[in-house]
Amino acid sequence: MADVATCRKAKDLGYPTNCGRQGSWPAMPAGAQSDYTARRFRTKGLALMTWGTAPPILNNKAIRETRTLPRFCRNGLLFLLQTFGFILFGPHHDTPIDNDADVGPRQLMQHIGLIPRNRLKWVPPHLRVHHEYCFFLHDQCVHVLAEYEAAKAHHVTVNFQSKATADEFSRIAADDPIKGLQATGYPAEARRAAINHITMAMVSDCLHHIYEGLRCFEKRKVVVAFNLLRKPLKDNLLYLAWMLGDEDDFYNAFVSGNPEVLTQKMLGNKRLSILTKAVAKTSVSSVIDPALLNEILFDRKSAHSLELVFQHAVHLVTDLHIELRTTPQNFNFIFKSYADDDTYDGAYEWLPYVLLFLSHIVMSLFDRMHPMDEGARLAHMVRTVFAYALIENIKDSSIQKYLEEALSETLKCTHCGAKARMTRSNAAMIAVAESFRCTSCRKKNLLPFSYLF
């Protein structure tokens, strides 16, 4: 897999970064992935040691990663939280979600602590936590990709029955290892090697584009951001979902020798089916709506769709479809003021939801490649679901109370010794940035939340 680009987290995680790639990732921003210092925390009587990286993902136990959901799938989120026993919301029913009268007036949460404030100054204040959450989803995928690549988990090992078979494979593999496995009687191994290779390369390419797109949003380069996000969200995501949902169909199309069967034009009528099958194989099938995903990404007639901004970001003039047609005496986007916030509102209305789905696809594919650690799975479940609920104001007071009951009695500021107060902001910081801010001395404390699991 020497041609698989190593993502920006590899160096920070201590992994080799000499794989073939175009360019390199920029330096990891301060606080971007909770790089812990060696410090002990005591929570519920457990002594926890923090290390220089996030907890290991790769192991021999099964895992399924989960994320979150959009506004009109809220009850699905509550059901998911109930199922895993993290919060006692009571029976699953349709009740008003935002019942936080007991916590007083809600203040705008503008910063979680994952990204330095100076990088967020151009992002509209009410969307900064959504932006940080999107980077959090991205970083989780990067961490898994880097760890799997470092461990060579994508490699397939074959014990040949004889030296003659091994020699025959070596001869053919010099040009094409996949054909070498097929020719020597190992079609299943050839298929797994091909799928693993495609997964690593496609996820790496996808994350490169997402990173640069999110960074462009930080600089008010909105048109460039949509240009960069179009490929990973419309192309990479669909192929990755196809691999997860129906690997047989994907592999047969891939090895058919006809690239036309892989084009978006040919997949047009299959998109909803592909997304439906993929959602069913994630842990959030009760909260992710494949029809909604299809509408957001591909339905040009929908008011919720990102298709209009994607097409206008790529082309100066569009006239093929009336829904996408350029207005008279205009060019798409070039006269748009960089100071307008409406494009940010449209983007972050759906971007966390789409990246949520993408992250589930990525983690499920890696789990199929090699089972993940159960503790990492559980930590990922709790952090991502809690964080989304908090930024979208879904039962956030219940999450605050839960974390306060679980942590506050024994969790104290390492600077002034004051007991931690579980504000909404601190709850989000714990879930995303694995830290909290003391309400007495205002200093930041690190908390290895993932290691609780």
Q: Consecutive sets of 10 residues in the chain, 453 residues long: mean pLDDT of each? A: 35 34 32 30 27 46 33 44 39 31 52 91 93 94 93 88 86 84 86 93 96 96 94 96 95 90 90 94 82 91 86 85 81 84 90 89 91 82 80 74 76 87 86 88 87 77
Q: What is the DSSP letter of 419?
A: B
Query: Rounded distance, CA 363 to CA 370, Å?
Result: 10
| Inter-residue contact 147 to 368 (CB < 8 Å) | no
* Token representation of residue 315: 């082309």
Q: At what angle do helices 128-151 and 187-218 cross, to 10 degrees?
A: 150
pLDDT in the model for residue 376 = 82
Let me know: does 119 contact 416? Beta carbons within 8 Å: no
> Would you state the pLDDT for residue 238?
96
φ/ψ of 422, rounded to 5, equals -90, 75
Contact present, 282 and 368 (Cβ < 8 Å): no
Continuous segment of H or E residues that includes residue 140:
helix 128-151
Radius of gyration of the chain, Cα coordinates, nearest whole angstrom = 23
SS3 for 17?
coil
Closest C-alpha to 350, from 400, 386, 299, 426: 299
**Angle 201-204-206 (CA atoms, 0-180°, nearest 5)?**
110
Contact yes or no for 14/151 (Cβ under 8 A):
no
Beta bridge partners of 49: 40
360: enclosing H helix or E strand: helix 342-369
Alpha-carbon span 52 to 432, nearest angstrom = 17
Which tokens hold the place of 41? 């925390």
**Residue 355 confidence (pLDDT):** 92
CA 279 from chain centre, in angstroms, equals 15
Give the pTM: 0.76
DSSP codes of every residue in 191-229:
HHHHHHHHHHHHHHHHHHHHHHHHHHHHTT-HHHHHHHH
Amino acid at 95: T
Give the separation between CA 132 and CA 390, rounded to whole angstroms: 13
**Token pair belonging to 65:** 């990663």
